[in-house]
Structure 1
Amino acid sequence: MSDLIDDPRPGENTPEFSVSELSGAIKRVIEGEFGRVRVRGEVGRVTLARSGHLYFDIKDERSVLASVSWKGQVSRLSVMPEEGMEVIATGRLTTFGAQSRYQLNVEDIAPAGVGALMAMLEKRRRALAAEGLFDEARKRPLPYLPEVVGVVTSPTGAVIRDILHRLRDRFPRRVIVWPVVVQGERSAPEVAAAIRGFNALTPGGPVPRPDVLIVARGGGSIEDLWGFNDEAVVRAAAESAIPLISAVGHETDTTLIDHAADRRAPTPTAAAEMAVPVRADLATHLAGLEERRRRALALALRQRDQRLRDLARALPRPDQLLGERRQRLDGAAERLPRALDSFARGKRLDLARGAGRLGPQLLLSRLTLDARKLDAAAHRLPQALSRRTQVARGQVLAARLNKHALQRQAMQERQRLARVDEALHRAASRRNRDLGDRVQALGRMLTTLSYTETLRRGFAVVRNGVDGPLLRGAAAASGAEMLEIEFADGRLLARPDGGTPTASRATAEPDVKSGAKAGAKSASNPKSKPADGGPDQGSLF
């Protein structure tokens, strides 16, 4: 290697390499240390170039080894590598200096078992298929011309641009994009949430609900597309009430969402083509249908016109239809006068024969017949009158019977009223007796409570002068000019200074009723006198 190292500059002892020199040195070292090797791993993405070279990856859980088989080597491989296969590859380790990477030039491939990822994927696919999530019967048809298209993809990739461009070219529709991460750990939950979010939109709401969904992503390895194999994404796609198109990866890439979707598109562009028809094709098709309609209508009119003309030729001419009838009408017109004369002569003969039979004998026979009918009616008249009289008598008897029934009913009503009247009289008498007893009891109570009974027990009432106010103490009595003292049997006039009094007697035994009235009057008006002119009783209560 000394010939590759330039002489160092003064003061420097680190050699300088060109890029090609360094790349070639690394290539010789790697090919010298790893001349021929055997590598075991899982086949990743496989690409067959147009040149015939085969490019693929061999990987394990931590690293990826780029591999290549040249066109001449591909034809000699015993097994063609497929994504997910676990293989043992034999070849030489070399470098690709143009991209500063190393790679394995594979000369032979032998299968080593099913890859771990593919085994997991197949197990999950069988489990979900057993639940019926992939059944064709549950898949819905796509709408022919959706108003709104919902797209679940990354907003920054080329996929959304391809979809929008294709929709704009075919039939512009309103597109709503739900941005998601399409690779990595966040991919699966975001895609599942986007599908369920679109289904949760309310039809006619502020954000319109899509008529069809497109879940799209570009191509990649199985690891890049693994999020679309997640069980949550598959279940969200199967539960979607909106028809869903899966456009994940390229045509050779298959994920579990492809089985659960209503339609699978090989590319995102193909998904846009499935979602909407071509406007120009529709316009052309409609124009063709319109032209066909017009031609069919014109043809139908021509056919019916020709049919009408054919039928018209088969009909007789008006002259032929009316000629015979006109001739018959002319013959009838010629025969009519003669027929009228003949008819009149016949009627005259009939009248003459009838007039010959009319005479006195005919009238007499008719009168005799009428007299016999009259005699028969006169013989039947008494019998009819007798029957009519019997019927009238029966009606009169029925009326009399009805009159007797009414009389009996009136008598019963009068008896009932008499009983009610008697009961009312008894109740009134009983009420009067009760009220009289109560009045007597109240009179006795009034007499008992009257102050005259108190006077009979030896008490007296002293007034200031005749019919003056009551005096209730000695001081009031000593200041009065004249005193009137009322006892049970009369009143006395006296002076406080001991002058001679003048006796004034009153009725000793007042009537109970008048006393009751006087007591009631005095109670209502203490200054009023009794009704018999006695002294004012005052108020002792």
Structure 2
Amino acid sequence: MSSIFDNDSPSNLTEYSVSELSGSIKRTVEQAFDQVRVRGEISGYRGPHSSGHAYFALKDDRARIDAVIWKGTFSRLRFRPEEGMEVIATGKVTTFPGSSKYQIVIETLEPAGAGALMALLEERKRKLGAEGLFDATRKRPLPFMPKVIGVVTSPTGAVIRDILHRIADRFPVHVVVWSVRVQGEGSGDEVAAAIRGFNECEAGGPITRPDVLIVARGGGSLEDLWGFNDEAVVRAAAASVIPLISAVGHETDWTLIDYAADQRAPTPTGAAEMAVPVKADLEAEVSGLSARLKAGMVRQMENRRQVVRSLARALPSLDQLLALPRRRFDEAALGLGRGLMMNTTNKRRMFERASAELRPDLVKARLGDRRQRLNDAMNRAERVVERQVHRGQSRVSAADASLRALPSRLLAQIHRSTDRVAGLVARSDAAIRTDIRRLTGVIAAQDRILQSLSYRNVLQRGFALVRDGEGGPVRQAAAVAPGMALSLEFADGSVSAIAGEGGEPTAQAAARKKQPKTGGSGGDPSKQGSLF
């Protein structure tokens, strides 16, 4: 009789394989929960996977369910999921047989009421405001008369037509439109990329750099305008070098880009009015200023003309100015004839006195006197020459006698000088040898001091001197950056190295570190450790 605990006893239960059981559970769950709406908080969201799908979880205070959004559905979402956001997800519940888990495949996703979006918006506003992105001191004034206006908006909506029409009516300028999506997933990234793209344009590039930017969109719900609350859009607007006008929604619609922009316009049309002045008003103002300028010039010229007339009346007439000089000229002309006659008479008298002194007898007397003076001078010169000749002969005789006695004196003087020079040479040699020995000792002492202070003695003990690419010594490890070229000087030479991460100069240094050590400081200097 068999026991009731016999494992081989037959059973009425149907036997399933693991795959069959998992497939049956999957079909049962999908049929029972084909379309459900689940409210929960997003948890573990890390953005879309490289495949384009998004994996995360929905949770409340007591339970948690895995969720997935396929790539096609994710691209159609009106806003991007974020960690901690409370949402309402619509989809179907299914199982994953490979790991015995169940999950919800989300088909639509919406925030859990406007209150959740407003709470998220306020939190993001506080965060970005704390970073100073909304400070009034960062805002730049708009140019009064821009030459080029950049518009970031959708090219198919009524917004761009209103802006272009308003600019054409007020002050026609060149408008560059950067086409973006203004609603739905990815719209924030496109708007941020457009703002950065306009700022990266060069003055002479293929796309003219705008003088002012307009980011515009028509009105809509909070979800429709959510792309302009994106953190990337706010940071791009705050970092824009070009002055930026935000014209998102109607006057009552506020987004975060409105706080970061340099100016906020109530409507896209209002943004166009802020960007350019009214040409007709400018022309009228210029005409009025021109008329005032002309009137001022006429008044100024008339005032100057009256001043000149008054000055002209105060000046004396030409006859009055020339009366005194004319009289002096007439008096000088009358005295000129008398002066010439008097001058001629004086010259004649001087000539007569000079001619009276030129009689022949006076000339002969003067010539005789001059001849006598010349003869006396010649006699005196002959006597002087004779005396000079006699004195010269006496000096020559004395010199001749001196020269005859010169050889004997010179020989005696030469012998004395030779003995004196020999003594001086001997004393000089002794003094030089003494100085050489003294200086040799001093130099030896200085060399010993220099050798004791030289860094090369330190290198002999196994250390290395580290220099940078310019040859300067490196004194601190903080001064060495990864990839920096270095020169290591050892006692017997220098090697080059490249600084690496974590203090390793090169890959060769790492390889040398693995080799066994062969000894202390008496080994090969190239294998000694360095300061690194």
User: Which of the pair has more CA radius of gyration?
Assistant: 1
Q: Which has the higher contact order (CA 8 A, sep 6+)?
A: 2
